[in-house]
Amino acid sequence: MMDVEPRPEEVGQILLKVQDDLRQLREKISQGDTANINIQDLEKALSKTEEGLQTKTEQIINQYNNQVQTLPYATASRFDQNTSLETTLDLRTHSKVDDVRRISGPVFPRERNVHQPQPPSGSGALLPKRQAVQVSGPTPGQQARHVLTLRTVLNPQNKYNRDTLNDNFGIVLPLIQQRNKSKPLGKTVLGSTIEPLAVLPKANRVDTQLAPPAITEDDARRGILSLIERGLIPPAAQLTLDPSPVKNKLVTLHDPVDRNKPPQQAEPVTTLAGVRLDVSTKGSSQSENITRMPVVPPHPKSAGSTETRTPSAKSRATTTTIPLVKTPATMKTYEMVYTQPMPPPTTPASGDQKQIMHRFAIQNGKVRDTSADFMAFKQHYCLSWGSIVTMMGHLLRLLNKYMIPIAFINGDRLADLALEFELEKAPSIREILSVVINRDDVENIINKPGRQYRSSSGQDIAATRIQSAWRMFRDRSEYLEYRRKKWAAGVIAISWIMHIKMSKVREQLHQTRDDNLEAFRRRAKKFAMSWDRIKNSRRVIIHIPSLGLSQDIRDNINDFAIRQNTQMARLCDIRDPNVDVIYVSPVPIHDETEQYYSKLLGLRHAVDSGEVEDQANMGERYHVIMPEAINSFQGHRFCLSSLLKYSPRALRRIKTLIKGREAYIVTGVPHKDDLAIADFLDVPILAPEPEVAHLYSTKSGCKRIFASANVEMPPSEYDVYSLGQLHESLAQLVTENLTVRRWLFKLDDEFDGRGIAYCDIADHLQCYPWALKESRRYGDKWDRKWAQEAAYIKIHAEIPEVLATHAKPVNTKLYPTWDSFLDAFLSQGGVIEACPPSDTTTTISVDMLIEPTGKYNIVCLGDQIHADTPFSCWGVSIPQSSIEPDDLNIACKRVAEACKSRGILGHFCVDFITFIDPKTETQKLWALDLSLHYSDSLSMYQLMQYVSNGALDTSTHEFNVPAPKSDNTKRRRRRLAGEKEEAPPNTSRYGVMSTKLLHTNLAVVHYSVFFQMCRAHGIGYDIKEKQGTVFTLIDNTKRERLGMLTIGDDLKSSLANFARNLSTIHHEISAPNMQGETNFKSAIKDVEAILNITIENAEEYDEIQNKTS
């Protein structure tokens, strides 16, 4: 037998040897070799050995129980599957040992010796052989719980740290309560916290030439700022501080990519292995320090391997192979080797610099599974080898697909990737390549075109690729065709549905229009029957100054709303005491405008009496209503009738005002929406049907009326719609009228002279002299067709070139070239008309009214004033004085009869032109145009009547005002004194008016300032004399346009006052370098020309009167 040394670490070896000796003796006894063995001596030896072992075991247990336990350090990753390492310190011998203690759960050793009962003394029975009991290890769940428990113990900040130490190790940590010590608030310091800067002595401040005082140490301690403030250092002195307070240092430039990354925070190190414990006694001089935990040996079964895999898939570590020896004293300890103290823990290196623990190669798509590296990798990750094999299958397929010669694999990264994609979808190529160490080389091979087709299955892959591409092309072509057909079917279906809906809407609108028209005709008949009663009784006139032109024309009119508001003088219809007026305004009315018209209309009684004090408030007689739809359709050029139709609030207000009273509508240019308004209000309209008005307001339509009225017209051809017809008609007209040198081309649907072009045909025809000779040669027979045939052929051949070269539109803003005008002419039709063969012409406008009963009369007539072009009316002088009244009245009567026969009623305007015929030296009157609407000149004439209380004599074409009241006392005195009586006062008046005054500088002048300026220059109206100037405010937004009426006792004075007013206003509001727009200058020139002609005519008349007398 061997003597057992009293060293605790050799107890296991002693017990093993004792067991071997006992087993050998038991075998000898069983074999019958008992000759040399004394049974009694043997029994004594056995009993003595058992006693010694028992004594020694008790000593070792006592020694083991007298040891102090410490916790392992955090980086110790090698431990048994169901144990936790603990370092112990013997308090008696000051020696350090390692022990393996259970954390939780029962102990299941690999091999355990079971104590066998001994046979009775003296018996010959032998001891049976001990049997080894194999017990299974802990489950993976228990391993995970052990790991979590160890992490909780090593982390003092964990909330379960106290409970775990108390439950598993019996350690009760003291409870430390953290007290928040509140800092006492400091006392607020009031006033200045710095000393005042010192100042120079008074002598130095008074006399700057004195030497400065000496600088003391106290001054130097105060600093440079104090010395500069005191003046001891000049302000301009250059100061150099040595050493400099500013130090230069290289700036660390960070990577812009890492700018947005959050800062990395190091995990708190809770390692207790570096803790030093002083366990020496008071008199001892030797003490031992507890250093880092030694490396944990591997499990006995994996002792041959140099690497083990921890339960954590994200951390890896290595160990050193240490032989393990079991002792009979305990089955839970392993022999460990003490290591030298390690340096303190540092920050771990980055992933790129991390040492790769497991690395193996894959060559030609195959793994060398017999290599040591792969075997170590496989043994290290044996617990998760199933998922690694799956991931390795993806990797091998990728490498085989692209015929990668060799690839070096990072095993640790492969294991991590296998855990990440164990239950998820298959990884991508980029994720698979992340485990390849030589990734750049592998990617270069993979990115080569056609690399995947060089493998053993390359032909199959290529065929599959071709087939898939062809199927994709075929299916996509079919799909695109299907989408195209589906889209086309959808478009057709939607178009058909929209067509059906639009057709129904059109039918409904058409039916509504027909209903409105039938109601209009029904009310017109009733209106005609009761007109004689209505015009002599109390009534309400609803004025809607709407321009119901076509949409194309409305879109090309600037300031269309203001253009509709030029007839605000319609309010003067309240001159009749039986009439109340409702005026629908197309623009908002401001307070200044309301006040002006209130004062203007309040002059009615003052005009009658001739006294200014007799003004009265006429606000109850008129109402101005603005449709609310004006603000809703600002981007659309709707006429006023359409805006009122879509303004239910305004319509309800009008209906309330006319409730129980006789009323009718006076519109502008008739529109279809007028019928809807009349139907809603249930009132008649004093106007023709919209379609009739539109038909006969065109240039071709008025020619038909003039032809049926048998009035003289200029040579013309109407209803021209083609280029050939244009050339033929023009050639025929030129051939028949060789004395006409200029020909006009007028569009049917335009108005106010906008759609006119002209061409001087006679000046550019090469055959024109020859045609004149031919006409003289034939004489009176020139009117026959056979005489004109030769000239017609030559003229027709030259007409196209002459028109293309020399024809010019009048309005170049609307129609810049002849081609654009010709396109519009051929699209809507037009008229070819001769220009009067005279240099001096006068255009006359006659406004007439056809009552519902068929009675017609002339309302006003006047001579036109032209400013911009000779084809556009800018103003009117009333009454006309260019032709004999009888000739004009006869022509007007014929036109009225023709209009009446076509169902036209209401207000309309006829334009005539008069000139002296150069052949016969007689005055001619041609009918030019017909406008079936309420004109601007008629509205201004209403204002002239209102402020003068005069009336027009249609037989003599004179406008007379009532004579002022005479003073009988003065007459009697003159008669008694023998003096001659005064001549009767002149009651004849002439008015010059315009609603198209434009001056952009008026926008900077308020109306109040404008009227003060006019009074300062004597521009005003005399109520007693019934003479002066009156304005109409029509532009409330920009204030750039206004109307003006000048009344005088003769035409000459009226024209002169009108021109003087324009000149005065222009000079007051304009600068010499004016950049705005105005028509004042052109109007002044035309008025002066008319004035000169008037003076010449007056002189000629005086000469004739003198000769006759």
Q: pLDDT tens-digit profile of 870-904?
A: 888 889 999 998 899 999 999 999 999 999 999 99
Q: Is 350 exposed, middle or buried (0-12, 13-18, 19+ CB in 10 A)?
A: exposed
Listed range (127-141, 228-242, 538-552, 623-637) with the worst mean pLDDT:
127-141
**Chosen domain end from 629, 663, 693:** 693
Residue 234: pLDDT over 80: no
Asked if residue 621 and residue 549 are part of one domain, the reply reads yes
The β-bridge partners of 70 are: 87
Q: In the structure, what pLDDT confidence band is assigned to residue 115 with cuts at 50, 70 and 90?
A: very low
Asked if residue 739 and residue 679 are part of one domain, the reply reads no
What is the length of the chain?
Answer: 1109
pLDDT at 190: 65
In a domain, 36, yes or no: yes
Tokens of 813: 């803003």
742 Cβ neighbours under 8 A, 6+ residues apart: 758, 759, 760, 761, 762, 834, 835
Asked if 405 contacts 363 with a C-beta cutoff of 8 angstroms, the reply is: yes
Asked if 874 contacts 918 with a C-beta cutoff of 8 angstroms, the reply is: no
Asked if residue 1002 and residue 1078 are part of one domain, the reply reads yes
Give the model confidence (pLDDT) of 764-821 as tens digits. Answer: 999 999 999 988 888 888 888 888 899 999 999 999 999 999 999 998 888 999 999 9
Q: Is 247 exposed, middle or buried (0-12, 13-18, 19+ CB in 10 A)?
A: exposed
Q: Greater confidence, 201 or 36?
A: 201
Asked if residue 428 and residue 391 are part of one domain, the reply reads yes
pLDDT at 280: 39
φ and ψ at residue 997, rounded to 5 degrees: -75, 125
Amino acid identity of residue 427, one-letter, is P
Q: Greater confidence, 731 or 963?
A: 731
Q: What domain count does the chain have?
A: 5
What is the spatial distance between Cα 995 and Cα 1003, in angstroms, rounded to a whole number?
A: 17
Asked if residue 720 and residue 669 are part of one domain, the reply reads no
Strands 923-931 and 906-916: antiparallel
pLDDT at 369: 83
Q: Greater confidence, 189 or 695?
A: 695
Radius of gyration (C-alpha) of the chain in whole angstroms: 61
Asked if residue 551 and residue 434 are part of one domain, the reply reads no
pLDDT at 804: 92
**Chosen domain end from 262, 281, 300:** 281
Asked if residue 111 and residue 49 are part of one domain, the reply reads yes
3-state SS, 315-339, equals CCCECCCCCCCCCCCCCCCCCCCCC
What is the spatial distance between Cα 1023 and Cα 1025, in angstroms, rounded to a whole number?
A: 6
Share of the chain above pLDDT 90, in %: 39
Residue 984: pLDDT over 80: no
pLDDT at 284: 39
SS3 47: helix
In a domain, 317, yes or no: no
Residue 827: pLDDT over 70: yes
Nearest to 73 by CA among 265, 300, 341, 309: 341
DSSP letter, residue 1000: G
Asked if residue 545 and residue 610 are part of one domain, the reply reads yes
**Chosen domain end from 281, 300, 328:** 281
Give the model confidence (pLDDT) of 452-486 as tens digits. Answer: 888 888 888 889 989 999 999 999 999 999 999 99
Query: What's the farthest any 2 CA atoms get from each other in the chain?
Result: 207
- Omega prior to 918 cis, within 30 of 0: no
Taking CA 909 as the corner, what is the angle to CA 907 and CA 915, rounded to the nearest 5 degrees? 160
In a domain, 101, yes or no: yes
In a domain, 1009, yes or no: yes
pLDDT at 263: 59
Mean pLDDT (the chain, rounded): 79
Asked if residue 763 and residue 680 are part of one domain, the reply reads no
In a domain, 729, yes or no: yes
Asked if residue 800 and residue 719 are part of one domain, the reply reads yes
Q: Is 192 exposed, middle or buried (0-12, 13-18, 19+ CB in 10 A)?
A: exposed
pLDDT at 37: 60
Mean pLDDT of 224-249: 72
pLDDT at 1032: 93
Q: Greater confidence, 410 or 251?
A: 410
Asked if residue 660 and residue 760 are part of one domain, the reply reads no
What is the spatial distance between Cα 1047 and Cα 944, in angstroms, rounded to a whole number?
A: 8
Asked if 748 contacts 828 with a C-beta cutoff of 8 angstroms, the reply is: yes
pLDDT at 527: 94
Amino acid identity of residue 680, one-letter, is F
Q: In the structure, what pLDDT confidence band is assigned to residue 87 with cuts at 50, 70 and 90?
A: very low
DSSP letter, residue 1078: B
Strands (E) across 615-694 are located at: 622-625, 662-669
For the beta sheet containing 716-720, the strands, ordered from the edge strand earlier in sequence to the opposite edge, are: 716-720, 830-834, 743-747, 756-759, 808-809
pLDDT at 260: 61
What is the spatial distance between Cα 940 and Cα 1042, in angstroms, rounded to a whole number?
A: 12
Quickly tell me which residue has 């006894």 as its tokens: 29
Asked if residue 1037 and residue 958 are part of one domain, the reply reads yes
pLDDT at 826: 92
Nearest to 783 by CA among 738, 736, 733: 736
Buried b (16+ CB within 10 A) or exposed e, 325-338: ebbbbbeebbebee
What is the spatial distance between Cα 1013 and Cα 1007, in angstroms, rounded to a whole number?
A: 10
In a domain, 182, yes or no: no
Quickly tell me which residue has 């592998």 as its tokens: 442
Asked if 309 contacts 380 with a C-beta cutoff of 8 angstroms, the reply is: yes
Mean pLDDT of 103-111: 39
Residue 664 exposure: Cα atoms within 13 Å on the Cβ side: 22
Amino acid identity of residue 365, one-letter, is G
pLDDT at 844: 94
Strands 579-584 and 622-625: parallel
In a domain, 829, yes or no: no
Q: Greater confidence, 88 or 187?
A: 187
Residue 68: pLDDT over 70: no
Asked if 393 contacts 418 with a C-beta cutoff of 8 angstroms, the reply is: no
SS3 662: strand
Mean pLDDT of 938-951: 93
Amino acid identity of residue 825, one-letter, is F
Helix, strand, coil content of the chain in percent (nearest 5): 45, 15, 40
Tokens of 120: 């009775």
In a domain, 217, yes or no: no
Mean pLDDT of 382-395: 89
Give the model confidence (pLDDT) of 596-650 as tens digits. Answer: 999 999 988 888 887 878 888 888 999 999 999 998 887 788 999 999 999 999 9
Rounded to a whole number of angstroms, the distance between the first and last alpha carbons of the chain is 187
Q: Which domain holds residue 371?
A: 359-456
